Structure 1
Amino acid sequence: MSFRDELLQELRAEAATVSWESRPARRPAAAAGLAAAVVAVVAVVAVAVPLASETPAFAVVKNPDGTVTVQINEFVRPKELEQRLREEGVRAVIDYVPYGQTCREPRGETVPQPQRMPLRRLDGPGFWIDPKDFGPDETLVVVMHSAAGDPAKSNGGGVGVIRGPVAPCELVPAEFGGVDRQ
């Protein structure tokens, strides 16, 4: 479900809680207060709906089962994505690197992949993770590079889990196997 659809669903749910039954006449002060509240709600909706039509760079949603769904639409603002994941209980280091480059390895003590599946892919540009999959000193590390410099298209990268400190990303040339997908 897109960010816009989620916002629309929330607005509809909120509107469903409003009673439209006629009520006895109110005092003028109460009517003025009600009018001000209605104007405020209309202003919020008028601002929220145009904003909802724009696709955000990313969305992070906490699911009822405690998992976290992440959708990345543009490979920009990685520190904001890290912060949102941290708010949902996932320590993460996100690096978006130029096409043809990657981060020098190793960046720390890698948790073996057969031991851990850090994320599960969804249909489309997203994945979900479970904060309970991570130990207290473990960090999700995502390195992605964009296709031909287009921040809306990924052309690969890597995902892993590091135990302990994560070294900063030191850019080095990436080695590609097979066809160059630029």
Structure 2
Amino acid sequence: MKPAERDLPEGRHRLLKEFVMTEIDKAPRKRRAVLAAPALALAAAAAVAVPLLFGGPPAYAVTKGADGLIHITINETKDPKGLQAELQSMGANVVVDYIPIGKKCSPQPRAARFLDKEEADLAVWPAPEEHFGSFTIDPSVIGPGQTGVLEFSSSENNGGVIAGIWARVAEGPIAECVLVDTTEAPLSH
């Protein structure tokens, strides 16, 4: 079973595929290439909308590659401690927090020292092509006595969603994130 099929209720993938193929077949031959992209975009939108009507996708998905990189897909900014536990079960010593717009973590800084990206770049950018839409981290850059810190924020903007991710490696203990009001960007450090 393909990953996209797994998220759809039984029979919905077939119906969605039939719908897309019918729409493509309705188009004259020379316009097929032009209409295929909108039909596929419609199919992708429907693939997202249908699961929401029937329970929806999980808040996040995590996979670990043979190279040790961990790919994180955030579907909804909820259950950061569940994501944190799953990442830790994969060997990534990280803390995860979701920070809503109008809030920020306090205290700042949350650790005695955050390593520069040159010292330990936790985020892999750009993510490997096969994990487009995911956020990738390299847990091997987290050394003994260090902890990765992942802070995620998202907001709606003109019908779309803007997401921000802050990923760093810290030395020593990490202070608990206490959300406080702010007029600054949620991930400004």
* Distance 1:153-1:79 versus aligned 2 partners, 3 A rule: farther
Name the count of aligned residue pairs: 132
Q: Mark the CA change 1:133 to 1:56 in structure 2 (over 3 Å): closer, same or farther.
A: same
With over 3 angstroms needed to count, the CA separation of the structure-2 counterparts of 1:124 and 1:64, relative to structure 1, is: closer
Runs (4+) of structure 1 exceeding 6 A deviation are none
Match of 2:74 in 1: 72
Contact 2:122 2:139 in 1 (8 A): no
In the superposition, relative to structure 1, how do residues 153 and 57 fare at CA in structure 2: closer, same or farther (>3 Å)? farther
Q: Which amino acid is 1:98 matched to?
A: P
Give the corresponding residue for 2:149: 141
Q: How far 1:61 moved relative to its partner? A: 0.7
Q: What does the per-residue CA deviation read over 1:19-46, in whole Å, with 9 as the maximum and x for residues that have no partner?
A: xxxxxxxxxxxxxxxxxxxxxxxxxxxx
CA distance in 1, matches of 2:3, 2:148: 24
1:94 to 96, 99, 109: 96
Tell me the TM-score normalised to structure 1 length. 0.61
CA distance in 2, matches of 1:175, 1:117: 25
Closer, same or farther: CA 93–112 of 1 in aligned 2, 3 Å: same
Unaligned runs of 5+ in 1: 9-49, 177-182
* Counterpart residue type for residue 67 of structure 2: D
Offset of 1:119 from its aligned partner?
1.1
In the alignment, the residues of structure 1 paired with residue 69 and residue 6 of structure 2 have an alpha-carbon distance, to the nearest angstrom, of 17
Structure 2: tracts of 5 or more residues without a match: 9-50
Which of structures 1 and 2 has the bigger CA Rg? 1
TM-score, normalisation: structure 2: 0.59
| Shift in alpha-carbon separation, 1:65–1:157, aligned structure 2, 3 A | closer
Mapped to 2, the partners of 1:6 and 1:69 lie a distance apart of: 18
Partner SS state of residue 118, structure 2: helix
CA distance in 2 between counterparts of 1:78 and 1:133 reads 21
The 2-side partners of 1:72 and 1:148 are apart by 15
Structure 1 contact 74–153 (Cα < 8 Å) conserved = no
Pick closer, same or farther for the CA change 1:70–1:125 going to 2, 3 Å: same
Please tell me the residue identity of whatever aligns with 1:175. Answer: E
CA distance in 2, matches of 1:170, 1:53: 30
Cα distance in 2 for residues equivalent to 1:70 and 1:157: 11
2:110 is aligned to: 107
Contact kept? 2:96, 2:151, Cα under 8 Å: yes
Contact kept, 8 Å, 2:156 with 2:162, in 1: the verdict is no
Counterparts of 1:118 and 1:5, CA distance in 2:
31
Aligned partner of 1:156 in structure 2 is: 164
Distance 1:65 1:158, change over 3 A: closer
Mapped partners of 2:146, 2:93: distance in 1: 7
Q: Distance in 1 between matches of 2:141 and 2:134?
A: 18
Q: What's the Cα RMSD here? A: 3.1
Deviations 1:51-96 (A, max 9, x none): x994221111111122211111111100000011001110111111
Q: What is aligned with 1:22?
A: none
Quickly say closer, same or farther: Cα 1:68–1:169, change in 2 above 3 A. same
